Amino acid sequence: MVRILTFALRFCFYFPFTKFQGTISNEKRIFPFESDALSMSFLSLTSNFIKESKVSIFHRWFLSILAIWCCLVPIVEPAQSYPIFAQQNYANPREANGRIVCANCHLAQKPVEIEVPQAVLPDTVFEAVVKIPYDQQVTQVQANGKKGALNVGAVLILPEGFSVAPAERIPEEMKSKIKKLYFQPYAVDKTNILVVGPVPGKKYSEMVFPILSPNPATDKSVSYLKYPIYLGGNRGRGQIYPDGSKSNNTVYNAPAAGTITQIEPSSPKGGYDITIETSNSLKTVEKIV
C-alpha cells in the first residue's frame, strides 16, 4: 500500500495546475528492515486533496477513479528475503543430524562464530554476537547477471523460552550495536528461532541479537539448565533453489557436446535459454534460472 499511495501522489504532482495539501508521517521502529532501502512512510490522503485542488471537474473525476483503481489493484513486488524459502519449505530449520536449512541451498561450507554469555539471569536482556567472516573484496553473480557485493543472513536457534527482546527492554547502548537489523521469528509458534537477512555483508558481517531470557518463576516450562544454541549463517546467494533448480550462481555443465548457437531470455522475470547444437545437428536447450 505504501508503494500504491506513493505512485498516486507522484502522479498528482506531475499533473498541471494541481495543488494538494496533506501530511507525511514516519512510523518509527527499532529494527526497520533494510532490504532495498524502501522507506516505511505512510501518506495520509484525504478527500480535501481533490476538493481543494484547482482542477476541473473532469480532472477530479479522473483522479477519483485513479485512486479507487490503485486501492483495488495492489502492486506486488518480488520477495527479496531468501530466508522465506526455508520458512515455507521446512517446519524445523534444524534436521536430526544437525544440518541447518541454509545448507540446502548454499552448498559451500564456511565457518561462522557466535559469542554469548556463559550464564545469564532469568528475565534478562543479553547480547548474542554472530560473526560471518568473509573476504569483503569478493563479488558474486547477481540474479541479473551483473557482479555485486555479497549479502549475509543467519538463522539462530535458541532454547525454548528464549526470544528476541522487546524494543522497550533493549538498552540504548545495545540499540546502537544492533543498527537497523530486523529480526523475525522462524514461525508463529517458534519465537525462539530467529531469522535475519539478507542484509549487506560489508555492514552486517557482525550482527548483535538482543535476546530475552525466560523466567522460570512465571514460566514453568523452563528450568535452570545448560542449553545448546545452534547457528546457521551464509554469505552470498545460494546455488540451488528449494524446487531443485539451479541459480545462476553455480557451475553449469553442458548436457551435450556441441556449439552454443543461441542465448535468449526465457521470461521477463529472468533466466536464459541456451541452445546447443551437436555435431549431428541435434539441438538441446539448457535453462538457466
Known binding residues for heme are 82, 102, 105-106
Give the integer Cα–Cα distance in Å for 45 and 133.
Answer: 46
Q: Which residues does 71 contact at the CB level (< 8 Å), separation at least 6? A: 4
* Binding site feature residues: 82, 102, 105-106
Which is nearest to 12 in space by CA: 50, 51, 46? 50
Q: Which of 35, 63, 37 is nearest to 50 (CA)?
A: 63
Spatial separation of the C-alpha atoms in residues 97 and 230, rounded to whole Å: 12
B/e letters for 144-165, b = 16+ CB within 10 Å, e = fewer, are: eeeeeebbbbbbbbbeebbbbb
Grid cell 506513493 is found at 6
CA distance 234 to 140: 13
Give CA–CA dist 50/39, Å, rounded: 25
